Amino acid sequence: MSTNWLLAALLVGCGDAITAKNAGEGDDSGVDADDDSSDTDGGPAGEQAPSVSYAQAYCEAAPAREWTFVATASDPQGNDSLSTTSTVSVYSGEELLSEHSLSLDTASQRYLASVSVADVMVSCPEAAAHQFSFTVSDEDGNVSDPKNVDGVTD
């Protein structure tokens, strides 16, 4: 588990992809270079949304009997534009069981939450059989693609 925390700390150290200083530079003009409808050559659609770079859903069976949710994210508009909260949705197959809010810890630049097993509606022995879907947003309302992980336990 300590390797995951180290990886998360290293990922947080990565720089901003686009800052106010260089927002108009490079090939990110928002103009498509060809006539096709795909948006892979500089269009603004997918390039403004933040992304979740790391996520973990960890269940501690004893003594606390609680879930710990951790996520790191980045935003091409600058990490200072990330929302101070994010969301994790808990699924059993296609069924949504519960949703929980994570708060941004500014010191570590990680989203964190501890939630009781009863509120998550998944016991620790059932952790790996459930999927946890993390999303973040920025202050402009752009929402990341979900980062899906299976639950883990001690």
- The domains of the chain are located at 2-153
Please tell me the distance from the alpha carbon of residue 9 to that of residue 103, in angstroms, as a whole number: 17
Say whether the peptide bond before residue 63 is cis (omega within 30 degrees of 0): yes
What pLDDT sits at residue 106? 85
Query: Between residues 77 and 6, which one has the greater pLDDT?
Result: 77
Kindly state the average pLDDT of the residues 120-135: 97
Tell me what percent of the residues of the chain surpass a pLDDT of 70: 70
Quick one: 2-153 is in which CATH superfamily? Macroglobulin (MG2) domain (2.60.40.1930)
